[in-house]
């Protein structure tokens, strides 16, 4: 339906795919809007993985590989955009994959778990309980999943849940294109990169990272530096945009 000569063809097609998942109920209307916010920040990054994002991605791999109980939390947008990428990352780092939704219904959880399984993900499901110190449906998770985790990867997470997980003593890795979001600031480590670029990069790093590099990256996590660098890249690009 979108004309092939449209200069933003690729971006429009991705949007249409999300809109399609929204019709099925996998992605919420709010999820579509959140995707748009991400697009704007990615546009300012030049739609590429920056040097500092690459450091964050390698550090994420190191944290996931050395975790006692790593968990990847998946929501509707993540499943719609990157079910295959989640499957590859799970194979590379051995993390549990758990579905956690902001707008939670049993039906949505089941649809998203099915979509993930169809892409080869070993989904950790079972009974969810209200275990996180939050109002709303965001409190739900599984006792042996996110609740037990020491390291949690939360792509596209809500700011409150991210902060709650950090307060519970967990190492939280966020993937968030907005370096100013509450999620980005609250997380232990924030990857300011687009989801389908970030996940394969973490997977790749899991496969080739050495023991000394792992130790060195983990001992030098500096999220303020990573966020400052992302902002610096954006402002630099913005300020030359009209040249």
Residues that bind a copy of itself (CB under 8 A): 1-3, 5-8, 12, 15-16, 18-20, 22-23, 28-30, 32-41, 43, 103, 135-136, 159-160, 178-180, 182, 224, 227-228, 231-232, 234-235, 238-239, 241-242
What distance, in Å, lies between the first and last C-alpha atoms of the chain?
Answer: 34
Quote the least distance from Cβ 184 to a copy of itself, whole Å.
10
- Of 4 and 212, CB closest to a copy of itself: 4
Residue that the structure tokens 């956690």 belong to: 100
Reduced to 3 states (helix: H, G, I; strand: E, B; else coil), residue 41 is helix
Q: Which two tokens stand for residue 101?
A: 């939704």
Quote the least distance from Cβ 195 to a copy of itself, whole Å.
15
- Of 176 and 206, CB closest to a copy of itself: 176
Name residue 174's beta-bridge partners: 154, 190
Spell out the residues 6+ positions from residue 112 whose beta carbon is closer than 8 angstroms to its own. 26, 74, 75, 76, 79, 99, 101
- Of 139 and 148, CB closest to a copy of itself: 139
Quote the least distance from Cβ 96 to a copy of itself, whole Å.
28
- Of 13 and 209, CB closest to a copy of itself: 13
Q: Which two tokens stand for residue 212?
A: 């000394």
Quote the least distance from Cβ 172 to a copy of itself, whole Å.
18
- Of 216 and 228, CB closest to a copy of itself: 228
Quote the least distance from Cβ 22 to a copy of itself, whole Å.
5
Print the SS3 string covering 113-149.
HHHHHHCCCCECCCCCEECCCCCCHHHEECCCCCCCC
């Amino acid at each position: 339906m979108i004309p092939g000569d449209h200069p933003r063809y690729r971006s429009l097609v991705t949007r249409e795919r999300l809109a399609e998942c929204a019709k099925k109920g996998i992605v919420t209307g709010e999820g579509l809007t959140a995707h748009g916010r991400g697009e704007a920040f990615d546009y300012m990054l030049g739609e590429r993985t920056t040097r500092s994002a690459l450091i964050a991605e390698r550090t994420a791999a190191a944290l996931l590989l050395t975790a006692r109980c790593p968990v990847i939390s998946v929501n509707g947008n993540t499943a719609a955009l990157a079910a295959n990428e989640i499957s590859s990352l799970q194979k590379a780092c051995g993390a549990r994959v758990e579905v956690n939704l902001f707008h939670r219904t049993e039906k949505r959880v089941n649809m998203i778990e099915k979509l993930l399984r169809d892409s080869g993900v070993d989904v950790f499901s079972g009974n969810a309980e209200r275990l996180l110190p939050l109002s709303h449906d965001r409190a739900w998770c599984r006792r042996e999943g996110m609740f037990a985790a020491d390291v949690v990867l939360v792509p596209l997470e809500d700011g409150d849940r991210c902060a709650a997980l950090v307060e519970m003593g967990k190492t939280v890795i966020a993937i968030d294109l907005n370096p100013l979001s509450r999620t980005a600031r609250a997380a232990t480590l924030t990857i300011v990169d687009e989801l389908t670029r970030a996940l394969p990069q973490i997977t790749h790093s899991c496969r080739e990272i050495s023991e000394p590099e792992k130790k060195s990256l983990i001992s030098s996590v500096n999220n303020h530096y990573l966020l400052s660098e992302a902002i610096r890249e954006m402002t630099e690009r913005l300020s030359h945009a009209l040249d």
